[in-house]
Amino acid sequence: MTPNSTDYDLSLPRKRVAAGVLFFDEHNRVLLVDPTYKTPWEIPGGAVETDESPREGARRELKEELGLDLEPGRLLGIDWTSPRPSRSEGVVFIFDGSQLTPEQLAAIQLQPDELRAHEYVPLNQIDQRLLPVLARRVHACADARAQHTTVYLENGTPP
């Protein structure tokens, strides 16, 4: 008996998908957020929901976390992350958020059940705030932004 396409599709592996957005200020610092439910700091974004595109997921997360309804910019990078004790393998999409206007920055409303704080951090200091894999990802995507390209990563590093 040959399985139908639905059976086949359901038998395929599933991966966790997330999307984040990099915002920069006029000094090329990156906007980081401090989640209430985990440590350390992160970039704005989160898990992509079922039947939601990564871009839609990033936009929804910006609205939920920061109170900003913004369309993410171009794709800066895709990062495959290997499984680790606390997480399954996943694919992370990073979009360019460009530079927030003073009005947008003033309009940020952190969701108290999700975020404690937000702060622009110089690129040379993000290693102290982020998990190593995320710090590598942010550096690679910041470079891709500066070079007007898109980068493919595995665990935050180009293969």
CATH number at residue 21: 3.90.79.10
The 10s digit of each residue's pLDDT in 103-137 is 999 999 999 999 999 999 999 999 999 999 999 99
Task: Specify the pLDDT at position 118.
Answer: 97
Task: Specify the pLDDT at position 3.
Answer: 52
Nearest to 34 by CA among 12, 3, 65: 65
Q: Look up the domain containing 35 and give its range.
A: 14-154
Residue 6 lies in a domain: no
Residue 23 lies in a domain: yes
Gap between the Cα atoms of 137 and 5, Å rounded = 36
Residue 8 lies in a domain: no
Residue 37 lies in a domain: yes
CB 130 within 8 A of CB 40: yes
Residue 1 lies in a domain: no
Nearest to 141 by CA among 66, 61, 14, 31: 31
Task: Specify the pLDDT at position 1.
Answer: 41
Residue 149 lies in a domain: yes
Residue 4 lies in a domain: no
Residue 144 lies in a domain: yes
- E strands, 100-147, are 115-121
Whether the model clears a pTM of 0.85, i.e. scores above it, the answer is yes
Number of domains in the chain: 1
Specify which residues 94 forms β-bridges with. 20, 77
Provide block-wise average pLDDT over 10 residues at a time, the chain (159 residues).
69 92 96 93 97 98 96 98 90 96 94 94 97 97 98 97
